[in-house]
Amino acid sequence: MSVDLSFYKGKKVLVTGHTGFKGSWLCHWLVKLGAEVIGYSIDLPTTPGHFQTSGVQDIVKDIRGDLCDYEFLNSTIEEEQPDFIFHLAAQALVRLSYDEPRRTFEVNIMGTINVLEAARQVPSVKNVIVITSDKVYENHAWEWGYRENDRLGGKDPYAASKACADLATAVYQASAFQKHASPARDLAISTVRAGNVIGGGDWALDRLVPDAVRAIIAKEDIVIRSPRATRPWQHVLEALYGYLILGVCMSKSKGDFSGAWNFGPLDVEMVPVKQIVEVILERWNTGTTNLVIEEENTGKEAVVLRVDSSKAIQKLGWMPVLSVPQALDLSIDWYRAYYENNTDMAQVTSEQIDHYFFMANKD
Amino acid sequence: MSFGNLEMHPGQAKTEFLRNKTILVTGYSGFLGHWLCESLLSTGCRLIGASKSVNAKISGVEHVICDLTQIESLFSLFDKYRPDLVVHLAAQSQTTTGMAELANTFEVNTRGTWNILEALLQFSPDAGFIFASSDALYGDIGEEIATESHPYKISTPYASSKACSELVVKSYAQQKNLKTIIIRLGNLYGPADSNVKRIVPGTILSLLNNTRPEIRGDGASIRSYLYILDAVDGFIKLIDALFKNKLVGETFNLCDESSVSVKGIVDTIVDIMNLPELSASLGNQKTGEIKIKQVSSKKLRQATGWQTKVTLQQGLEQTIRWYIEFNKSDLSGEQI
């Protein structure tokens, strides 16, 4: 029995980071559900990008603004009067966070605070979902999945900034704060912690699937240096489905559903990089790209952090259903449609959403 | 400002190693900063005190006006002084203010911290960095005793901003190889605390003004209170360690380990001052404060040999004596 997403029909939803990969897919899904979507973000992070290739600018109110510009953010929310806010906008690249820790902290921490401040000032806003990350957990290098009440404490600036965003959100959410703040509010606020999302239309740097796709298009080999490395990969739609379900539950019963939620992938045992690339090349066999392994570190692979999704599974009726190979298949199909057939990518996106929804709800 | 005949702490740590070192203390005009600077002055170091207050001055400390939220001013400060050690105490620290000005709390406490770290990285990357955090981030853990490995449990803006600041400090420490120590402080009390919103100075001054002290809430909250010179001693021991490249990257609780209720401490003060007719009046509104808090400083004790030397009774007696002296010289309006 799944939660009825038709709840979003006619609702005004603000999506920050709508120009990004995840945000763009979320906009499509929300619009499909009949929501009126307003996007707030700085300019496009990549060219190409899912946003422009699937025509998101045609289906949402596209507002370009900086999270750090509180005045503009606040006046936008005041003017648009959304019911819901999905806050995805962030400095999301780990490597960039090493070079620019301060900017990463500014955008991810102060930016989140700006969103929450603006949200609490505008009475129309009833629900806020803040997208943080599964990287917020302090890594104890143990085998178990992290639960929502485990210690937060990411070390690299990206992870630390997301952990801080989570901690800051916790206080805005706390009923003790909301009651004694001015104006007094009763917002339902949650943070959601998902893993390394993959899907069609991601062109970010230093991500495995986009890097592989770039190599295929350039007719170059895919060189991997850590073939045994793993990450908690999951399809973007799987994480987004969780967020959408959570949003419905929060608006029906805020006390029970505000808080932190993990949305992790299906498989406990993670697929290594080598296998990921093999699956990609199997699905997209051009004959001009080969897998080349130049293993740098032959020592033991670091134990990769994964989350325990029991809370979301039991309380929200959400369930991860796609294996990583299935997620890869969907992703590669999208990229192929874009590169080979000059297809209507809005249509492909929409079809993939329908397909995922079917997979998630059969039996 | 004179401290009269108050004895410096018995058995203070030897601090010869600080001679000729440049130490920057932010928030030096606050209660802890003031006493820490007093203690550091006798070591022969060059003390730079940063504060946003124009008036704050301790003789012997070079006073610099500095706003943590303005990174440019921090760059100039670090460029000019190139400190060997930074003790970062400055913060927006009152719980009640925190509720009302949440965003500002993060601006000063969290953003202010990464601003300082950026400046430090740029001009004094080998400097030690001691960060004053708070036991507030343990939250409400009931009967448990908080140790450094307890998770954050955030319920106030101040606690959240401090938890975030800790993560920022750790991230910089890790990524940029900065030498840092984090100190989680509990409640402090002692002479020369000008913040009358805090229970000890507030109570003493009420009584000196012949008014019944007021307690927010029912006074049943149980806390610990660390005498200020014991706290300073803890800092000195950790400064010592950091200069010797020990305990780098560690976090320590610095709290008194005995507990007393808010009403209990007020009653003790009333008792010492012998004014039974001015017993406390209790409020009953809930302010979102935490009911019981017990924190262990065992890690610090074991790592440095630190221990509290002043009991609550002794500390309150010294504190009260100071306020009586101070009140007589009629400088009660002066900002410290």
pLDDT one-digit tens code per residue, A166-175: 999 999 998 8
Judged against a pLDDT cut of 70, whether residue B12 lies above it is answered with: no
Find the helix packing angle between B312-328 and B262-272, rounded to 10°. Answer: 60
- CA of B203 to nearest chain A CA: how many angstroms apart? 25
Residue of A nearest to B138 (CA): A151
Judged against a pLDDT cut of 60, whether residue A18 lies above it is answered with: yes
Predicted pLDDT of residue B329: 59
**What average pLDDT does range A320-331 have in this prediction?**
95
Judged against a pLDDT cut of 80, whether residue B121 lies above it is answered with: yes
Phi, psi (rounded to 5 degrees) for A310? -55, -40
Q: Report the catalytic residues of B.
A: 158
The candidate with the shortest Cα–Cα distance to B309, out of B244, B236, B209, is B236
Residue of A nearest to B167 (CA): A160
CB A151 within 8 A of CB A137: yes
Beta bridge partners of B184: B133, B253
Predicted pLDDT of residue B332: 46
| Token duo for residue A251 | 């608006």
Rounded percentage of chain B residues whose pLDDT exceeds 90: 66
Between CA A7 and CA A29 the distance in angstroms is: 13
Q: Let me know if B125 is exposed, middle or buried by CB neighbors in 10 A (0-12, 13-18, 19+).
A: exposed
Tell me, what amino acid is at A77? Answer: I
Residue A26: Cβ within 10 Å count: 27
Q: Do A110 and B99 touch (CB under 8 A)?
A: no
pLDDT in tens, A201-259: 999 988 999 999 999 999 999 999 889 888 999 999 999 999 999 999 999 987 789 99
The candidate with the shortest Cα–Cα distance to B232, out of B44, B92, B40, B96, is B40
Between CA B37 and CA B10 the distance in angstroms is: 17
Task: Give the gyration radius of chain A's Cα atoms.
Answer: 20
Residue of A105, A137, A191 to mutate when probing chain B, most B C-beta within 10 A: A105
Q: Do B175 and A98 touch (CB under 8 A)?
A: yes
**Do the bridges between strand A61-64 and strand B62-65 make them parallel or antiparallel, or are there none, so unpaired?**
unpaired
- CA of A71 to nearest chain B CA: how many angstroms apart? 13
Bond into A320 cis (ω within 30): no
Beta bridge partners of A12: A36
Band of pLDDT at residue A351, cut at 50, 70 and 90: very high
Residue located via tokens 């029995």: A1
Q: Do B111 and A110 touch (CB under 8 A)?
A: yes
Band of pLDDT at residue B336, cut at 50, 70 and 90: very low
For every residue of A323-357, DSSP letters joined together read -HHHHHHHHHHHHHHHHHH---HHHHHHHHHHHHH
pLDDT in tens, A81-98: 999 999 999 999 998 999
CB B231 within 8 A of CB B32: yes
Tell me, what amino acid is at B86? Answer: V
Least confident of A15-29, A178-192, A193-207, B87-101: B87-101
Contacts of B160 in chain A (CB under 8 A): 167-168, 170-171
DSSP assignment, residue B216? S
Q: How many CA atoms lie within 13 A of A136 on its CB side?
A: 34
Contacts of A149 in chain B (CB under 8 A): 151
Judged against a pLDDT cut of 60, whether residue B72 lies above it is answered with: yes
Q: Which of residues 133-162 of A touch B (CB under 8 A)?
A: 149-157, 159-161
B74 interfacial to chain A (CB closer than 8 Å):
no
Predicted pLDDT of residue B7: 46
Between CA A238 and CA A236 the distance in angstroms is: 5
